[in-house]
Amino acid sequence: MTQTATATAKKTVHLIIERQDGPNSKPYTQEFLVDYVPGMNVIACLMAIQRNPVDKDGNPVAPVVWEMNCLEEVCGACMMVINGKPRQACSAIVDQLEQPIRLKPARTFPVVRDLIVDRSRMFDALKRVKAWIPIDGTYDLGPGPRMPEVDRQWAYELSRCFTCGACVEACPNVNERTSFIGPFAISQARLFNEHPTGKMHRQERLEALMGEGGIHECGNAQNCVQVCPKGIPLTTSIAAMNRQVNAYAIGSWLKK
Amino acid sequence: MAQMKPHTEYLLRRLHTLSGVIPVGLFLLEHLFTNATATKGAASFNNAVDAIQSIPLLPYIEFFFIFLPLVYHGVVGLYVAFTSGYNAGKYSWWRNVMFVLQRITGIITFVFIIYHTWTTRFSGKAPTFDMVHQLVSNPAYLWFMIIGVVAATFHFANGMWSFCVHWGITVGARAQRVTAYVSMLLFVVLAGIGIDAILAFTHSA
Ligand code: HEM
Ligand code: SF4
């Protein structure tokens, strides 16, 4: 085989990336070709573009930026829209994707640059529902109550949420006309309400879910459960919290 | 609704899902079954109407148990349909499609109910078999009725599924799947009963 024949026979990966230079600049798309490496993921493609930032036609461009940390689907940072679905770039294996691979930022969130989005609203939502267990005090409170094993098993599933935002991106009711906090926050409220020590602040979480952008904004489109990379039963969490919130609302009204 | 008191929005939305079933959904069932008497002939339907007319305090019952809740559910429903996002084109999973259909059928039902009550209850004519027969003799009105009944029964049946989730009745994935099948069966049965009754009115008394 001649030199050129080997070059054309060499497998490449074709990517179409929606880019944006800054929070307020206009999006544009660029196409890239990177050398195929067996088993590579979308992150590896982005790294290849970073090493040699030229577009499909060989013109030099600014390298594409994205967020990543763990590279093993436990941090949630590399969530982006890949071939139309919000997912983690690290676990998006090129061999399993249709080409050209289309990458877009998750536009439910404000875009910082290229594929980087600002997910602050998720952390604000977690603060709103008090997704933690307050144990700080002026003296040692001793060990907390034990958790029944049957509950620990499903609660563990919920604890795997890494705040990636895929469920928020896919939800039709998270939009500029509503203030919905998003499916994950409801699931986290359920997780901490189930914990024997977390239960002590149950009311505050239920009050938050009755507040602005709370659980009533959910319209049961159930996209969240389809896209969650951790397979978290979000729709079960939402229904379970509907039960808790409604029972609490009716109960507290009758007590007043 | 952003500037409301902390729990007002929650309350309004919960009243909306509740009103869809009690009393609006219950009225829909009652209405479909009254109309179904038309399949047994004009006299049977007219008797059923007379029985309703003999209920004491009927205007109050109509106003407080049908008119007000229906207007409430319809107006808040329009607001909900407007604030919802629609991404079933991108994410065409079944439940997301149903979510869109729930809103579309709600809007169709809204328009339908206005024209339907305008030409019947608020037309000033006596509610008899003959009156309905005159209306459905017009093919356009007949099709309008059929579309309205299909939209309303779909909206109610699928709404029952959604109601069960909103009130934490069906929590697990399997329970939600089974009730989805049941709700679609309910839709087919109710739509069938409704269309059957409409067609019965096309025969002259
Ligand atoms: C008058 C026009 C109507 C409009 C605009 C409308 C709109 C809506 C909308 C947008 C929803 C979704 C609510 C949500 O998911 O939070 C809904 C739910 C529902 N609607 Fe309607 N609707 C109308 C009439 C009716 C009628 C006539 C019935 C009864 C037969 C009905 C029964 C229901 C039920 C059962 C639900 C489910 C409530 C839930 O999700 O918990 N609606 N409606
Ligand atoms: S619930 Fe799933 S999809 Fe949503 S933020 Fe957590 S891990 Fe991501």
Residue B180: its pLDDT value, please? 98
In a domain, B188, yes or no: yes
* Confidence grade of residue A137 (pLDDT, cut at 50, 70, 90): confident
Is a pLDDT exceeding 80 seen at residue B3? no
> What was the pLDDT predicted at B13?
97
> Please, what CATH class does the domain formed by A12-117 belong to?
alpha beta
Distance between CA B156 and CA B101 in Å, rounded?
11
Domain topology for A120-255 = Fumarate Reductase Iron-sulfur Protein; Chain B, domain 2 (1.10.1060)
Pick from B166, B161, B72: nearest CA to B110: B72
Residue B99 has pLDDT above 90, yes or no: yes
B2 belongs to a structural domain: no
Phi-psi region of B97 (alpha: psi -120 to 50; beta: other; left: phi over 0): alpha
Query: For residue B47, how far is its CA from the centre of ligand 2 (angstroms)?
Result: 58
Q: Could you tell me which chain B residue has the CA closest to the CA of A215?
A: B10
Residue A99: pLDDT above 90? Answer: yes
DSSP for A131-166, written as a single string: -S-----SS---------HHHHHHHHHHHT-----H
Q: Is residue B3 part of a domain?
A: no
CB contact under 8 A, B95 and A222: yes
What is the sign of the dihedral through the CA atoms of A109, A110, A115 and A118? negative
At position A7, the amino acid (one-letter code) is A
A246–B165: do the CB atoms touch at under 8 Å?
no
CA torsion angle A190 A191 A194 A196 (round to 10): -140
Chain A residues near residue B165 by CB distance under 8 angstroms: 220, 235, 238-239, 242
Residues A39-57: tens digit of each pLDDT: 999 999 999 999 999 999 9
A101-104 vs A12-19, strand pairing mode: parallel
Output the domain CATH number for residue B12: 1.20.1300.10
Counting ligands in written order, the one closest to the CA of A77 is 2
In whole numbers, what is the pLDDT of chain B averaged over residues? 96
What local confidence, expressed as pLDDT, does residue A1 receive? 44
Is the CB–ligand 2 distance for residue A33 below 6 Å? no
Q: What are the domain boundaries of chain A? A: 12-117, 120-255
Q: How many domains does chain B have?
A: 1
Name the band, by pLDDT with cuts 50, 70 and 90, for residue B127.
very high
Tokens 């809103």 locate to B103
Residue B1 in domain: no
- pLDDT greater than 80 at residue B57: yes
pTM of the model: 0.93
Q: Which residues contact B70 (CB under 8 A, 6 or more apart)?
A: B24, B27, B113
Complex ipTM: 0.93
Considering only CA atoms, give the Rg of chain B. Answer: 18
Q: What six digits make up the tokens of A69?
A: 């940390």
